[in-house]
Structure 1
Amino acid sequence: MAMRLLRGILSLLKWGLCAIGAVALIFTAMIATPLQRPPELRSVSDSVKGVDFSTLPALERFQARDGTWLGFRHYAPSGQPTGRGAVFIHGSSGSSATVNHALTAAMATRGVETWALDTRGHGASGTRGDIGYVGQLEDDLVDFVAFLRRTAPDLPLTLVGHSAGAGFALRVAATPIMQDMFVRTVLLAPYLGYDAPTNQPNSGGWANADIPRLLALRALRKLGIDCCSELPVLALAVPPNSAKILVPTYSERLMRNFATRGYRIDLPALTHPLTIFGGAEDEMMISSRYAEAVQAVKPSVDVKLIEGVNHMGIVTNPKAVSAIAEDVATRGAGQS
């Protein structure tokens, strides 16, 4: 009897180990799936045309809490100072030195003291395409604002973000420890999360995700195994040979952090005014759905669409640049 019971236990153990091995092989195969780079998206590449980079401020650096030196550019206000400030967060792949310079320079010419940050993983900040942990971008932004407060202790700051950077700005605006650092948040063509009704399929050809790898890493996290988050899971449609300027891929932890937690989660937590600007001709987002999507969750969100403007045009098109710069210059002291 005892031998029969032992044989039964050993048989169960054998099949259990086989099942674990099979699952491990499946996870390994999913994680090993190669990330496919999408072809260059010309509407993004062509957005650089017409941007005057001769006025781009010099790169400066500050030291984050982990000792890493992160890059930023400071735009001193010209003309009549408004007594307002702004921190600008670029979109996916970009930096403080890319096409958003057209908008950040315009805000400064309207008297808004403006800082454009190289978010960690981009530009001159850290390892391209990767960060150390989810939450590090928030830590960096807290450190950056503390750095700014040494010279501008009382300046009311508006947080402005574009595309994926707008999703991150929404994440920040909903975080209790950070939301009071900014009197207002402005989102430009925001990416509101993978399940938002405002997304064009595959972001209009801009982004290609490694779905098997993402699903495997998510399943492992639910099992309490947090591994391999440094692996690339998102490829962006940047031009060939542009890696010195643009970031071609994101690690899993950077992709998760440089985004909203989900607009249905973050919007209810807002305590300060929020405005969304979208381009009516946006090829990555369905801008006509912004108002319905966000106001169903947070009716007080202000949504503005600009005709004749695409995704990158929201930071380069003169009509969009003028409207947004004027908005930040005149509503940056907490007005809704």
Structure 2
Amino acid sequence: MAIQLLRGTLSLLKWGLCAVGALALALTALIATPLQRPPELRSVSDSVKGIDFTRQVALEQFQARDGTWLGYRHYQPKGPATGRGAIFIHGSSGSSGTINFVLTAELAAHGVETWALDMRGHGASGTRGDIGYVGQLEDDLVDFVAHVRKSAPDLPLTLIGHSAGAGFSLRVAATPIVQDLFVRTVLLAPYLGYDAPTNRPHSGGWANADVPRFIGLAALRKLGIDCCAQLPALAFAVPVNSEAILTPVYSDRLMRNFATRGYRLDFAATTRPITIFGGTDDEMMISENYAAAVQAIKPDIDVKLIEGINHMGIVTNPKAVNAIAEDVATRGSGQS
């Protein structure tokens, strides 16, 4: 009897080890799958044509809690100040120095004191394409607001994000420790996640995720193993040899942090007013689906569509930037 029991135990152990080995091989194969960069998306590359960069202000820096210097640009209000401020979060691959400065300069022209931040992993902030841990971007934003408050202690601040930066801004709006730093959130052509009805496949050709690697790393985290998050997991359709300006690839942890936790979860957790602006000609997002998708969760979310505007036009086209700047300049001072 004892011998049979021992044989049974050894057999179970053998098959258990085989299963563990098979799982390890499967996860290794998933994680080892190489990331494929998509071809250049011309609608994004061509958006720089005709842009007047003379309105862009100089880059400044502040020090985050871990000692890293992060970049930003500060646009003083032009003409009569509105008594309102804004912090702008750029989209995927970009920075405060890319063409979204057309909007931040226009906000200042409307009397809104505006700060545009290079999110860690972009521009002049930290290691390009990577961060230290998921949640570091929220920590950086808290540190940046503290820096802003040294010169503007009482200015009501609106958080504005574009595309992936809008997804992150929604994440912030749903985070108790951060959401109260802002009186209002404005989302421009927001990327709400792969499962949102507002997202075109692969963001219209802009982004390509390493899905097998993402699944493998997610499975490891479920098993309590948090490793390899520095591996590249998301690539963008930027021009060849544009790395000096743009961030072509995100690590797994940057990809997960610079996004919502899930748009349904995040919208449900928001407590301050939110406005969404979309363009009817957006090649990355299905703008006509924004209202139904978000108002099913929060009916009071304001959704505005601008005719004839594509994804980058929402931050560069004169019609769009004027409408957004007018909105920010006249709202967000305690009222919705």
Q: TM-score, normalised by structure 1?
A: 0.99
Conserved? CA contact 1:199–1:286, under 8 Å: yes
- What is the alpha-carbon distance in structure 1 between the residues aligned to residue 86 and residue 102 of structure 2? 15
Secondary structure in structure 2 of the residue aligned to 1:225:
coil
Cα deviations across residues 116-141 of structure 1 (Å, max 9, x unaligned)? 00000000000111100000000000
> Which amino acid is 2:179 matched to?
Q
Residue 112 of structure 1: aligned partner:
112
Secondary structure in structure 1 of the residue aligned to 2:74:
strand
- What is the alpha-carbon distance in structure 2 between the residues aligned to residue 18 and residue 180 of structure 1? 51
Residue 71 of structure 1: aligned partner:
71
Is 1:179 aligned with 2:179?
yes
Secondary structure in structure 1 of the residue aligned to 2:120:
coil
Conserved? CA contact 1:77–1:113, under 8 Å: yes
Residue 274 of structure 2: aligned partner:
274
- What is the alpha-carbon distance in structure 2 between the residues aligned to residue 116 and residue 51 of structure 1? 18
Secondary structure in structure 2 of the residue aligned to 1:256:
helix
Structure 2, unaligned runs of 5 or more: none
Q: Which deviates more from structure 2 when the two are superposed, residues 8-17 or residues 281-290?
A: 8-17
Q: Which deviates more from structure 2 when the two are superposed, residues 46-55 or residues 163-172?
A: 46-55
- What is the alpha-carbon distance in structure 1 between the residues aligned to residue 334 and residue 226 of structure 2? 40
Residue 164 of structure 1: aligned partner:
164
Residue 26 of structure 1: aligned partner:
26
Is 1:95 aligned with 2:95?
yes
Residue 257 of structure 2: aligned partner:
257
> Which amino acid is 1:262 matched to?
G
Secondary structure in structure 2 of the residue aligned to 1:140:
helix
- What is the alpha-carbon distance in structure 2 between the residues aligned to residue 4 and residue 141 of structure 1? 63
Conserved? CA contact 1:184–1:332, under 8 Å: yes
- What is the alpha-carbon distance in structure 1 between the residues aligned to residue 50 and residue 100 of structure 2? 12
- What is the alpha-carbon distance in structure 1 between the residues aligned to residue 282 and residue 216 of structure 2? 32
Secondary structure in structure 2 of the residue aligned to 1:74:
strand
Deviation at 1:276, TM superposition (A): 0.2
Conserved? CA contact 1:273–1:334, under 8 Å: no
> Which amino acid is 1:257 matched to?
N
Residue 82 of structure 1: aligned partner:
82
Is 1:6 aligned with 2:9?
no
Deviation at 1:281, TM superposition (A): 0.3
1:210-249 equivalences in 2 (<5 Å): 210-249=210-249
> Which amino acid is 1:33 matched to?
T
Secondary structure in structure 1 of the residue aligned to 2:196:
coil
Q: TM-score, normalised by structure 2?
A: 0.99
Secondary structure in structure 2 of the residue aligned to 1:278:
strand
Deviation at 1:193, TM superposition (A): 1.2
Deviation at 1:333, TM superposition (A): 0.9
Residue 203 of structure 2: aligned partner:
203
Cα deviations across residues 81-120 of structure 1 (Å, max 9, x unaligned)? 1111000000000000001010000000111000000000
- What is the alpha-carbon distance in structure 2 between the residues aligned to residue 190 and residue 199 of structure 1? 9
Q: Which runs of 4+ in 1 moved over 4 A?
A: none
